Amino acid sequence: MPDDLARLYDGHARALFAFALNLTRSEADARDVLQEVFCRLAARPALLEGVRNERAFMLRLAHNQAVDLFRRRTTREKPELAREDEASTGHPFAASARADEEGFRRALADALGELPPEQRAVVHLKLWEEATFEEIAEVLAISPNTAASRYRYAIDKLRVQLRPLYNEVKNLWTTSNNT
């Protein structure tokens, strides 16, 4: 079992962590989600029996854990406050040495943070997990049409917020490539 757990961790922990971090906006919460997913899998290995897509199944577990965390938090404290406290560690993107890229990633993280969690989850799965709307629907237990409409709404919001910065970064990138 530990070997199997290690295999699962090496294969999926990065994706689960990024997904959980994007949902919770807190490194500590993302760790709790990750920990809980692996504890559940270790305690009940039969959960994965007959599962065709391990990644999708584990993402679903992570999503459920994150939702539970949200529910617990909304009964105890305001999630916005927790989000502000964790703003420095809840950045879901890797750091970049280039200032323009780093600026865009921070702006993207902020824009994602302003999306409702359900839209953020769809955007994450679509862009960074390259999942189809059918797969997203399976992970989030929603219909494919709902997944598609949430994605459209979210991308439109991100486009409005990030378009100026995106154009700027794109121009810089084009200029540096030409020179």
Partner 1 sequence: MDDFEQYLKSQPLRAVPPEWREDILAQATAAAGGKPAAVALPWWQAWLWPSPYAWGALAAAWAIILVLNFASQQDSGGPASGDARMTQLEIIAMMDERRLLMDAFYAEINPPHAPPPPPAKLPDAPGATLERQEPEEHPLA
Residue with tokens 């600026």: 103
Per CB under 8 A, the list member of 11, 14, 78, 141 interacting with partner 1 is: 14
Per CB under 8 A, the list member of 70, 87, 93, 103 interacting with partner 1 is: 93
- Cα separation of the two ends of the chain: 55
Per CB under 8 A, the list member of 66, 121, 122, 158 interacting with partner 1 is: 158
* Residue 102 near residue 121 (C-beta atoms within 8 A): no
Closest CA to 95 of 108, 111, 106, 83: 106
Token pair for 174: 């084009």
**Site size with partner 1, rule: CB under 8 A:** 40
Closest CA to 78 of 86, 87, 67, 70: 70
Establish if 61 lies at the interface with partner 1 (CB under 8 A): no
- Segment near partner 1 (CB under 8 A), from 59-67, 85-93, 132-140, 141-149? 85-93
Establish if 91 lies at the interface with partner 1 (CB under 8 A): yes
Q: How far is the CB of 78 from partner 1 (least distance, A)?
A: 25
Establish if 34 lies at the interface with partner 1 (CB under 8 A): yes
Q: How far apart are CA 94 and CA 73, in angstroms?
A: 27
Q: How far apart are CA 117 and CA 60, in angstroms?
A: 14
Instruction: Catalog residues that contact partner 1 under the rule CB under 8 A.
Output: 1-2, 5-6, 9, 13-14, 17-18, 21-22, 31, 34-35, 38-39, 41-46, 91-94, 104-105, 108, 127-128, 130, 155, 158-159, 162-163, 166, 169-170
